A and B are shown apart, each in its own frame.
Chain A
Amino acid sequence: MFTRISDIDRLFETMNLLQKRLDNLYGDYEKSSGYRWGFEQNTPRTNLYENGDNFEIRAEVPGLEKDDLNVKIQGNYLEISGQRKSDTPESYKTHKTERSSGSFSRSFTLSEDVDSTRVDATLKDGVLYLTLPKNEAVKPKKISIS
Chain B
Amino acid sequence: MAFDNLSDRLQMSLRRVTGKGRLTEKDIEEMMREVRLSLLEADVNFKVVKEFTKEVKEQAMGEKILKGLNPGQQVVKIVHDELKKIMGETNAPLTLNMIGITKIMMVGLQGSGKTTTSGKLAYLLRKNNNLKPLLVALDIYRPAAIEQLKTIGAQLNVDVFEMGIFEKPQTIIKKALEFAVTNGNNLLIADTAGRLHIDEKMMQELVDIKEILKPEEVLLNLDAMTGQDAVNVASSFHQTLTVTGAILTKLDGDTRGGAALSLRQVTNIPIKYAGMGEKLDQLEVFHPDRMASRILGMGDVLTLVDKVTENIDEDDMMSLMEKMMSGKYNYNDYLKQLKMISRMGSLGGIMKLVPGMNKAMKGANIDEKQTVYIKALIQSMTKAERKNPQLISRSSSRRRRVAKGSGRSVSDVNKLIQSLEQQSQMMKRMGSMDPSQMNSANALKAMQNTKTKQKKGKGKNRSRFRY
The reply to whether chain A is a binding partner of chain B is no
